[in-house]
Amino acid sequence: MTAQRAFRRRLHRIYGAYTVGFVAFVLLLAWLERIGLPRSWIGLIFLLATVALYAVIGLLSRTTNPDEYYVAGRRVPAFYNGMAIGADWMSAASFIGLAGTLYLSGYGGLAFILGWTGGFCLVALLLAPYLRKFGQYTIPDFLGERFEGRLPRVVGALAAVLCSFIYLVAQIYGVGLITARLTGLAFEIGIFVGLGGVLVCSFLGGMRAVTWTQVAQYIVLVIAYLVPVVWLSAQQTGDPVPLLSYGEQLKKVSQAEQRLLDDPREAQVIAVFEARAAALDAKLRDVPAALAADRAAAAGRLAALQAADAPLARLQAAAQALNRLPRDTDDARRAWTAARDTDLERARPLAGMPRHAQEFAGDPNGDAAARAAFDDSRRNFLALTFCLMVGTAALPHILTRYYTTPSVKQARESVTWNLLFIVVLYLTAPALAVLVKYEVFNVLVGTPFDHLPAWIGNWSHVDPGLLSVSDVNHDGILQLGEIRIGGDIIVLATPEIAGLPYVVSAMVAAGGLAAALSTADGLLLTITNALSHDLYFRMIDPSAPATRRVTISKALLLMVALAAAYLAAQKPADILFLVAAAFSLAAAALFPALVLGVFWKRANRWGATLGMVAGLGVTLFYMIGTQPWLRGVFGIESPVALWWGIQPISAGMFGVPVGFAVIVVVSLLTPAPSARTQALVESLRYPAVDTK
């Protein structure tokens, strides 16, 4: 008890000094920037310094002791476990993507906020204390022990590997993206540099190293997220705490929306896009003829220039235009359809964004179409919230963390701490989205093109996919419809929008890197533990000595990390879908078995095994049948049939109830678990009984 207290005091001292050191480091760089250190150097220094720091913590915590390697010796105090979970939890998607999603989809994006915080209620009430009482190493450990056998353990381990791996690919993708931005290296090289950062932590010291690095990473990422928002808020509203005052900004955004909807110049821009789409539509009606006409026109222009003996540059340009035309009719159809869809998308009012404060699309009191749109949008909002919540309470890399506290009591308390640390960021993201929207709607829109702020030029130079502006209606003034904005820019550009020095931008990128690295660490560890501990040690060679298990775990870690990096380098489907898919799969496969395992003694081996398979199966089936990218991969041609209009992103909506139902029905049809297992379930429920 006194040892624990002394340990806690030591941690407070170390991390207190660390935080002060980090702030001093940022201030030092800010000073160096003022005396003229170039930007690329600042980005590089930030990247190397933070990754080196994580590596040092990893090195200092290296271990081969299984208790230390798998569960950090079970002595992580609630407060620090909360912080580590915070970093483990907040991925690149939360840090970089969330504010952007909120900016683009308004109220609809709040499903992510609700889902990613509310899920911790399920963790706290239904799982964390019981898993801590059980007190083994992995989630499949629980499934194997509780459901008496290898089969539930194998199925659980495979499900854990599947959802963690999908999530891991998304994280490594994020790592590559940020490293590339921060250093100017190519994306693929960025992935492998970032991978090095992940490996030095988890490779040497397992959970112990990951935990203490994650605490350090949480501190970096929370400072990096809050500083620019506080600054922007102080600038806009005079109040550094945006949480109380951004309601006012939201009101102004709503007024601006109305103004922009009525603005004739916005209507002009929309008309231009509609005309472009109509022209493409006309070409699409007879592709061969249109393509031939385009070719003839381009060739004619080239011939005319040649005949007129035009300068070489113009001749080359005309030849290139001819070359750039689609090669054949299929190519042309594809290119023109895509271009038309983009034009139609951009021809919508408010650049396709819904009104920010409006709950759901459509109108419950409108005509039939508006009512249907409202119902559909509301149903999907709730379904997404549900899947994210239940997925939160089933992702193995989070649940394993509750094994690392010294007691059941501290496991419960660590949920409170981790939710607090997470909520700090999730309360800020919607505020940031509104503040940036205010800046864009009220300050940026209506600016003449030759007076645009510098950050627009900077970012459209870095990546036109993130931000591009063009004077569509040729009036020399920027309209909302003329801005193309990618969600990821919101967080990355905030420091510049707020007029902060470059060092803060570098800090934000380092924060995003910390978020992605810490999540990747946790996931990687979960995957390799499932493979080495649950499959190898428990299935193949139960007599393997502890150190060999840890060694095998490390070897697997390397292979899994390389496989994930390889996949991420292929730039698969969009990141948000990958993340949401991981949540839906975890929710459907693991949540019913875990919860019924604790709360229903009658749940047995066959029920749990078939329930996991059924939940996973239904979710995968629905996703593969409805998600465009997966349909392409599996070559499905039949028309998309949505069930009750639920989007593929929320496929877990069907998998979770099926999982529960199958476990209940099959368990009741097959014999009850043994008395020993029932006694185990009983003991899970009381903190102080039969402690191991």
Partner 1 sequence: MSTPEQRRRHWRGNRRLTALLLLLWFGVSFGASWFARNLNFDFFGWPFGFWVASQGALLVYLAIVGVYARAMNRLDHAQGLDEGE
Query: Which residues would be at the binding site for partner 1 (CB under 8 A)?
Result: 1, 4, 107, 110, 113-114, 117-118, 120-122, 124-126, 129, 243, 247-248, 250-251, 357, 359-360, 364, 374, 378, 381-382, 385-386, 389, 406-410, 412-413, 415-416, 419-420, 423, 426-427, 430-431, 685-689, 691
CA angle 637, 642, 646 (to 5 degrees): 140
**What is the nearest approach in angstroms of partner 1 to the Cβ of residue 605?**
24
Structure tokens at 552: 């095998």
CB nearer to partner 1: give 346 or 412: 412
Based on CB atoms, which residue is closest to partner 1, 288 or 364? 364
Burial class (CB in 10 A: 0-12, 13-18, 19+), 330: exposed
501 and 31 Cβ atoms separated by less than 8 Å: no
- Rounded alpha-carbon distances, angstroms, from residue 625 to 355, 630, 632, 644, 649: 32, 8, 10, 14, 12
Closer residue to partner 1 in complex, CB, 365/638? 365
In the complex, the smallest distance separating the C-beta of residue 254 from partner 1, rounded to whole angstroms, is: 9
Question: How far is residue 136's CA from residue 145's CA, in Å, rounded to a whole number?
Answer: 10
**In contact, 492 and 96? CB cutoff 8 Å:** yes
State how far Cα 395 lies from the chain centre. Answer: 14
Q: How far is the CB of 255 from partner 1 (least distance, A)?
A: 13
Cβ proximity of 139 and 480 under 8 Å: no
| Distance between CA atoms of residues 408 and 132, nearest Å | 6
Considering only the C-alpha atoms of the chain, give the largest distance between any 2 of them, rounded to a whole number of Å.
97
| DSSP per residue, 623-670 | HHHH-HHHHHHHT--SPP--STT--GGGTHHHHHHHHHHHHHHHHHHS
> Residue 121 CB, nearest distance to partner 1 (Å)?
4
Residues 6+ away with beta carbon under 8 Å from 190: 175, 176, 177, 178, 179, 180, 183
Cα torsion 648, 652, 657, 659: sign? positive
What's the CA gap between 597 and 607, in Å, rounded?
A: 10
Nearer to partner 1, 114 or 284 (CB): 114
Beta carbons within 10 angstroms of residue 349's beta carbon: 17
Sign of CA dihedral 184, 187, 192, 195: positive
Nearer to partner 1, 71 or 161 (CB): 71
In this complex, which beta carbon is closest to partner 1, that of residue 89 or of residue 107?
107
- Rounded-to-integer distance, Cα 604 and Cα 437, Å: 53
- At closest approach, how far in Å is the CB of 148 from partner 1? 22
Quote the DSSP letter at residue 327: S
State the minimum distance, in angstroms, from the CB of residue 430 to partner 1.
Answer: 4
Q: Measure the CA–CA gap between 174 and 48, rounded to whole angstroms.
A: 17
Task: CB nearer to partner 1: give 56 or 126.
Answer: 126
- Output the smallest distance, CB 689 to partner 1, in A: 7
Nearer to partner 1, 99 or 191 (CB): 99
Helix (H, G, I), strand (E, B) or coil at 473: coil
Q: How many CA atoms lie within 13 A of 263 on its CB side?
A: 22
CB of 412 to partner 1, least distance (A): 4
Give min distance, CB of 524 to partner 1, in A. Answer: 28
Phi, psi of 664 (to 5 degrees): -65, -50
Query: Could you give the CA distance from residue 531 to residue 248 in angstroms, rounded to a whole number?
Result: 52
Closest approach, Cβ 93 to partner 1, in A, equals 18
Minimum CB distance to partner 1 smaller for 419 or for 490 = 419
The CA-atom distances, in angstroms, between 544 and each of 14, 49, 533, 597 are 37, 39, 10, 29
- Shortest Å, Cβ 114 to partner 1: 6
CB nearer to partner 1: pick between 368 and 688? 688
Min CB(227)–partner 1 separation in Å: 21
Euclidean distance between CA atoms 547 and 331, whole angstroms = 57
CB closer to partner 1 out of 386 and 502: 386
- Give the type of residue at 305: L
Closest to partner 1 by CB, 195 vs 656, is 656
The amino acid occupying position 297 is A
Residue pointed to by tokens 């040649």: 306
Q: Which is nearer to partner 1, 454 or 675 (CB)?
A: 675
Minimum CB separation of residue 406 from partner 1 in Å reads 7
Torsion angle defined by CA atoms of residues 394, 398, 400 and 402, in that order, rounded to the nearest 10 degrees? -110
Angle between helices 187-237 and 39-60 (to 10 degrees): 110
Cα–Cα nearest to 98, from 422, 348, 445, 439? 422
Residue whose CB is less far from partner 1, 40 or 678: 678
Q: Provide, rounded to whole angstroms, the least separation between the CB of residue 407 and partner 1.
A: 5
Closest separation in Å from C-beta 103 to partner 1: 13
Q: How many other CB atoms are found less than 10 A from the CB of residue 476? A: 9
Closest contact distance (angstroms) between CB of 576 and partner 1 is 19
Q: Give the position of tokens 């946790």.
A: 522
Identity of the residue, 674 or 691, whose beta carbon is nearer to partner 1 in the bound complex: 691
Comparing CB distances to partner 1, the nearer of 572 and 687 is 687
